[in-house]
Structure 1
Amino acid sequence: MSQKHALIAGATGLIGNELLQLLIRGRHYQKISILSRRKVETSSKRVTTIITDYSKLSDDDIPDTVTDVFCCLGTTMKKAGSKEAFREVDYDYPLKIAEITRQKGAQQYLLVSAMGADAKSAIFYNQVKGETEQAIIKLKFSAFHVFRPSLLMGERDEQRTGEKVAQIVMGSISPLMIGALGKYRPIEGKDVASAMYRMAKKELEGRYIFESDKIQVLADYEASES
């Protein structure tokens, strides 16, 4: 096993939980730390939960030995309740984590963003996602991987009625979405996690952006080799 130390933010969410299970089953990381507001139950002795309030996150919360950072944080405008609250979760928290871990020597940052992320977008959601990407780029991690999934499929702890309806509708027409429409296909949360794990293990240098169709390709490769 390598001396790699992974940090996961958002391990209780759809993608983050799948990612945690992948890292536990795999042997790439000697240590796995989780930033969470509550204890994450696991039998793995390699996993440590760091109970924290993201709004008060400090250098002391994050181990000095972290090498790879996986940020799976995200909310919705409905759940956040305001633009300010949404921006705090989807911009302030990921950026603060990036700043602290980069200062401590982390080499890779893998971010779950969203399809349509664009700092110049007229759509607030997409604008914030794009601004987050741009802010983290400036920190110059050795590798910065951005994953922009389309509609996420999978079971969440929380109920999102509108999203559930969209999953049913989009799932039914997904087979028809080929060619240029491929990146709009719904994607399973576990596949996004699989793609993130695959790219982390490659230990590349540079900046990489993966749209939803490319994420699916990476996940399929990972599944075929596991």
Structure 2
Amino acid sequence: MKTALVAGTTGLVGEKLVRELIKSNVYEKITLISRRETGFSEEQSVHERLVSFDDLAKDEDCFATDDIFVCLGTTLKKAKSKGQFEKVDYEYPVKMAQLAKKQGASRFLIVSAIGADPESSFFYSKVKGRLEEALIMLRLPSLHILRPSLLLGSRNEFRLGEKTAEVLGKPLSLALVGPLEKYKPVKAEHVAMVMCALAQEESSGIHIYESDRIRHLGKVLEEKPM
């Protein structure tokens, strides 16, 4: 059996991912790194590690694992400044990737975003693009970058902008066909299922998954008999 580490476990994708990893019965140990307790501590295979993301080097030993899943992400409103946003969405994931490489982790899987582009005029997309660029430059043994569109699912926290986009996006998604299909909303549960499945593949190098491919793979996995 394998071991895994998950960062961003209190978010929409992260919470569903942990449940998916537990259900898979592939991992004998799943380490969750977080600032606060996550609520998964009663699960036998789950081990919580409370950390300071500003000083991850203190906990670098937990990066000596098979698969590392990063689902960290915030919003400008919640971060309250561009600097703090960059810290959460760029600096922390890059540091995790550096520690993953140092500790010999086999696979690094991360949730980015549709439209990620280091040259983008949109701050959010630019930060995500810079993140992807930095991760690729690290030459990790196996790097999987997922670029979902608008995420569908119930959050622990209410985000007005995302909820509004979700309500308006459902009817509009019918018109998103062909090249526009990748902009259709995608279930957070599907992103989690795809991340778990990809980690079981013997792959090396860089792999990028656009939202339409995530949606397709998620539907296939959902319909797959148990």
Name the TM-score class by shorter chain.
over 0.9
CA contact (8 A) 1:36 1:51 kept: yes
Query: Conserved in 1, the CA contact under 8 Å of 2:60 and 2:99?
Result: no
1:83-108 per-residue CA deviation (whole Å, 9 max, x = no partner) reads 10110000000011111121000011
Whether contact under 8 Å (2:66, 2:105) holds in the other structure is yes
Counterpart residue number, 1:188: 187
CA RMSD in angstroms, aligned pairs only: 1.3
Give the Cα separation in 2 of the matches to 1:119 and 1:177.
25
- How far did residue 136 of structure 1 move? 1.1
In structure 2, the residue matched to 1:53 is 52
- In the alignment, what sits opposite 2:94? 95
CA deviations on 1:160-190 (whole Å, 9 max, x unpaired) are 1111111000012222322111100011111
Task: Give unpaired runs (5+ residues) of structure 1.
Answer: none
**For residue 112 of structure 1, what is the aligned residue in structure 2?**
111
Q: Is the 8 A contact 1:69 1:110 kept in 2?
A: yes
Secondary structure at the counterpart of residue 45 of structure 1: coil
Tell me the distance in 1 between the aligned counterparts of 2:75 and 2:64.
32
1:62–1:101: 8 Å Cα contact kept in structure 2?
no
Identity over aligned pairs, percent? 41
Q: TM-score of the superposition, structure 1-length normalised?
A: 0.95
Q: Structure 2 CA distance, aligned partners of 1:60 and 1:151?
A: 32
**Equivalenced residues, count:** 224
**TM-score normalised to the size of structure 2?**
0.95
Match in the other structure for 2:31: 33
Show structure 1 runs of 4+ deviating over 3 A. none
Residues 8-47 of structure 1: per-residue CA shift (max 9 Å, x gap): 0001100000000000111221210001111122231110
Shift in Å, 1:221: 2.1
Q: Is the contact between residue 198 and residue 218 of structure 1 (CA under 8 Å) also seen in structure 2?
A: no
Q: Deviations over 1:170-220 (max 9, x none)?
A: 012222322111100011111111111111111311111111000011112
